[in-house]
Structure 1
Amino acid sequence: MKKLMTMTRQFRDDENGAAMVEYSILIGIIAVASIMTVLAIGGWVNGRFSALCTALEAASVGSCNATTGVGT
């Protein structure tokens, strides 16, 4: 019985897994933040290229297809 109690105390006091869980949560937060940043920047870049395409067509310099990126 004493050995069981000793093993139970050792298991309770062991904190090796806690650091791994904390780092896993941190990596998850960083991954979500990175994905959100890439999506936000992608939307901004898409808007800028669409505006450029519209300006080029208005100036009769050329035509472009904003959805496929093909231009003349």
Structure 2
Amino acid sequence: MRNLLTLARQFRDDENGAAMVEYSILVGIIAGAAILAILAIGGWVTGRFTGLCGVLNGKAGGTCDAAAGTGT
């Protein structure tokens, strides 16, 4: 009986599981922020290339396809 109570106290006082949950939440937040940053940067770069294609098509007389990423 005494061993069972000792085991129950050790289980109650063990904080390794709580720390693992906290680190998992932290990793999830960091991963979400990284994904959002990558998507935002990708949208910005796409807009810049689309604008550049518009300028090239209008002034330089070239052909530029922003969706395909090709041009002459």
Alignment match, 1:70: 70
Q: Secondary structure at the match of 2:60?
A: coil
Alignment match, 1:40: 40
Alignment partners' CA distance in 1, 2:21 and 2:47: 39
Alignment partners' CA distance in 2, 1:70 and 1:49: 11
Alignment match, 1:60: 60
User: Any residues of structure 2 matched to 1:10-25 within 5 Å, and which?
Assistant: 10-25=10-25
Alignment partners' CA distance in 2, 1:16 and 1:60: 64
Unaligned runs of 5+ in 2: none
Alignment match, 2:49: 49
Deviation of 1:61 after TM superposition, in Å, equals 3.7
Instruction: Calculate percent identity across the aligned residue pairs.
Output: 64
RMSD over aligned CA atoms reads: 1.1
Alignment partners' CA distance in 1, 2:49 and 2:17: 48
Alignment partners' CA distance in 2, 1:51 and 1:12: 61
Unaligned runs of 5+ in 1: none
